Structure 1
């Protein structure tokens, strides 16, 4: 597992003016603290212990805020250079500080990543660098059966962009850097082009998209996304309402029966500022046992009834697929979690999902959110490995203290 990150934070941030008139871009405020602090916190939570900050423009403010990193659970060292330095030069200057494998970060992008999964993919592929990419109609990264192709220029022929969070093999990458004309005064993007030309790149897609502070408009969107939100994700059948018998489905609103204890718990949480999003599999639609229009009527009735109790449901996310379809939106796959995160604007690693099926637990682990597993069986040995907290309880009410504690921990 990688435990060292190199963060490029020396640029002028000209597109972010006037915010960068007196601050480096990485230090611009996002919900009460510098954006760079949010990135470091994210990586520390996933096991990164040591950081090399490559500073330039007004770098003294970064050093003054972070010091040696001990206040942030990290060990931080610095490489300072003039604003004229290229990204290739900045990385060249820290070669002696680097581990054999390190994480290279930009200081203006945030993506929901699973660092352990990224590392496993990187180790298995044998690539000299593994990029984290997101889908965009006009991009500079193409992924195909022939490998990963990287370009300095964007075009509609490429469907992804890279957003940092790249795992880099030090020695072969510096061999490429040192061999470029004009080295080390080149951009690191030139290194990626050379690695691409030699089929030495791999890539992992960040399916939850990304946030950026590269310009004022994006900064405001990122501030909203990063603001703490008490959004609780909830399964439907067996969690909010009584389940039908195996192989059957709730096919009419008249047959929908709330679990009163669960509704009471949701109402209490709602009084404390919680809102809810429902994520549910409904294979009865694909099996033609539930009419899609009637399913919509069921959910309208559910949302309306809960609203009468003061319980705000921000969205109902449904997979109508048959399990044989292996759809990305069907739990235990995390597709609906990513969709809810993007539409409602919340970090998946700052929310909890409540459900009563082991597939719920697997979906939550894949999405990178916390999990409350409601089961009458007690502790369950089938719980998936997750970097996020998981709790096993017998009732929704029993989960309320840990739910409160989880959300309050990010509001302090």
Structure 2
């Protein structure tokens, strides 16, 4: 399988660290965040890493090169940062089938293999690695509403009144139809194309998307304090 790694963000909350360095290349424990992502994905046996670049993209290409641990890397550009679904849609020329995604600003340790194993079942179209957080934290990320059978009914991005405290983690296993869904949705109230909306569209059209609870930890690196927390956990 391939893996799409969105890494186009500027990282304004990480300034001054990101004044001359793209967010994905900020070092955590001596290695860029992007390298931490690559390590987890290559452990899953991915056959190609597709990196979505934007701000400072030439620096990412220069730093990461054409392969990581023998796995080829290709690059696609997101000229405008219009949301996660917009970023993933840029990978259309490269994606050839089912794929993983891992946000390029995440440092993650956990049961990714369980997601891959669940995704290999014939009766499953997609799998999301999820985490349970406080209601306050849930208001700032993608929140999952589960159906009675435990499958995903919908995902809401940054809701004022979260339907649950179960949230996305930035790691998913998705069907190829996701790309088209990302292209068909309308911008959200934040004027961004939300992956939550694209996945909800797939569910509404009959896709079965399941969840796997994170057994481990994750840090979405947005601030210098997040860098410190990730290093402590590592």
Normalised by the length of structure 1, the TM-score is: 0.49
After TM superposition, give the deviation of residue 49 of structure 1 in Å. 3.2
Select which of 30, 33, 45 maps to 2:28: 30
2: distance between equivalents of 1:67 and 1:159? 39
2: distance between equivalents of 1:43 and 1:175? 23
2: distance between equivalents of 1:31 and 1:110? 11
Please show how residues 82-93 of structure 1 align to structure 2 within 5 Å. Answer: 82-93=79-90
Task: Render the CA deviation track for 1:111-160: whole Å, top value 9, x for unaligned.
Answer: 33344421221233734331111111223123353422311134454111
Tell me, which stretches of 5 or more residues in structure 2 are unaligned? Answer: none
Give the conservation status (yes or no) of the 8 Å contact 1:13–1:24.
yes
Select which of 49, 56, 59 maps to 2:57: 59
Give the conservation status (yes or no) of the 8 Å contact 1:134–1:206.
yes
Give the conservation status (yes or no) of the 8 Å contact 1:111–1:206.
no
2: distance between equivalents of 1:214 and 1:108? 8
Q: Which residue of 2 aligns with 1:397?
A: none
Query: Equivalent residue of 2:102, what SS?
Result: strand
After TM superposition, give the deviation of residue 174 of structure 1 in Å. 3.2
Q: Which residue of 1 aligns with 2:109?
A: 112
Q: Which residue of 1 aligns with 2:168?
A: 162
In structure 2, relative to structure 1, the CA distance for the partners of 1:199 and 1:132 (3 Å cut) is: farther
1: distance between equivalents of 2:79 and 2:130? 29
Higher Cα radius of gyration: 1
Give the conservation status (yes or no) of the 8 Å contact 2:86–2:183.
no
Normalised by the length of structure 2, the TM-score is: 0.83
1:224 aligns with 2:232: yes
Please show how residues 9-408 of structure 1 align to structure 2 within 5 Å. Answer: 9-70=7-68, 72-124=69-121, 126-138=123-135, 139=138, 140-146=143-149, 147-148=151-152, 149-154=154-159, 155-170=161-176, 172-181=177-186, 186-198=193-205, 200=207, 201-226=209-234
After TM superposition, give the deviation of residue 161 of structure 1 in Å. 1.2
In structure 2, relative to structure 1, the CA distance for the partners of 1:167 and 1:10 (3 Å cut) is: same
Query: Equivalent residue of 1:217, what SS?
Result: helix
Higher relative strand content: 2
After TM superposition, give the deviation of residue 74 of structure 1 in Å. 1.8
In structure 2, relative to structure 1, the CA distance for the partners of 1:126 and 1:14 (3 Å cut) is: farther
Give the conservation status (yes or no) of the 8 Å contact 1:134–1:210.
no
1: distance between equivalents of 2:16 and 2:88? 28
After TM superposition, give the deviation of residue 224 of structure 1 in Å. 1.6
Give the conservation status (yes or no) of the 8 Å contact 2:181–2:199.
no
After TM superposition, give the deviation of residue 50 of structure 1 in Å. 1.2
Tell me, which stretches of 5 or more residues in structure 1 are unaligned? Answer: 227-412
Q: Which protein has greater RCO, CA pairs closer than 8 Å, 6+ apart? A: 2
1: distance between equivalents of 2:120 and 2:43? 21
Task: Render the CA deviation track for 1:169-214: whole Å, top value 9, x for unaligned.
Answer: 01x32343343246xx723232123234446321111122322212
After TM superposition, give the deviation of residue 76 of structure 1 in Å. 0.3
Query: Equivalent residue of 1:103, what SS?
Result: strand
Give the conservation status (yes or no) of the 8 Å contact 1:212–1:219.
no
In structure 2, relative to structure 1, the CA distance for the partners of 1:161 and 1:47 (3 Å cut) is: same
Task: Render the CA deviation track for 1:327-380: whole Å, top value 9, x for unaligned.
Answer: xxxxxxxxxxxxxxxxxxxxxxxxxxxxxxxxxxxxxxxxxxxxxxxxxxxxxx
Give the conservation status (yes or no) of the 8 Å contact 1:128–1:168.
yes
After TM superposition, give the deviation of residue 221 of structure 1 in Å. 0.4
In structure 2, relative to structure 1, the CA distance for the partners of 1:205 and 1:198 (3 Å cut) is: farther
Give the conservation status (yes or no) of the 8 Å contact 2:8–2:81.
no
